[in-house]
Amino acid sequence: MQLAQCVEAALNEGKAQQVQRIDVRKLTTITDCMIVATGTSRTHSRALAERLVEQAKQQGWRVVGVEGLPAAEWVLVDLGEVVVHVMLSQIRSLYDLEELWSFKPGDREQQSSAK
């Protein structure tokens, strides 16, 4: 998880708020982990994402794609084994990715049998 540590460091240096890493290896084959961070404004979110892309490239990491940069309410930076979501607070609260991705294999069976 060296890449994830670099991402977290870059976000923290940029003063991102509520940086959280979510290990999704058992939930999807798309990526190993997701990192969610909050920007204080669109300008801040854009700057965080741009800084992250720049630092990733400088360190030799492959940037697969970047989505949402123009509006910067929710910017997704795909680094392959790490997917980063930089979101405004209200967008982060609305979509609640931490709760969505906290689902564990077997939870659905346990919920069904409890009914």
Q: Which amino acid is at 59?
A: Q
Taking each continuous run of H as one helix and of E as one strand, the counts in the chain are 5, 5
Domain spans of the chain, in order of start: 2-114
Q: What is the layout of strands, in order, in the sheet containing 74-78? A: 17-23, 33-39, 82-88, 74-78, 65-67
Give the pLDDT confidence score for residue 101 in this predicted structure. Answer: 75
For domain 2-114, say whether CATH 3.30.460.10 is its number.
yes
Give the pLDDT confidence score for residue 75 in this predicted structure. Answer: 98
Residues of the chain with pLDDT under 70: 1, 103-115
Q: What is the pTM of this model?
A: 0.84
DSSP 71: T
**HSE value, Cβ hemisphere, 13 Å, CA-based, for 25:** 5
Give the pLDDT confidence score for residue 64 in this predicted structure. Answer: 96
Give the pLDDT confidence score for residue 111 in this predicted structure. Answer: 45
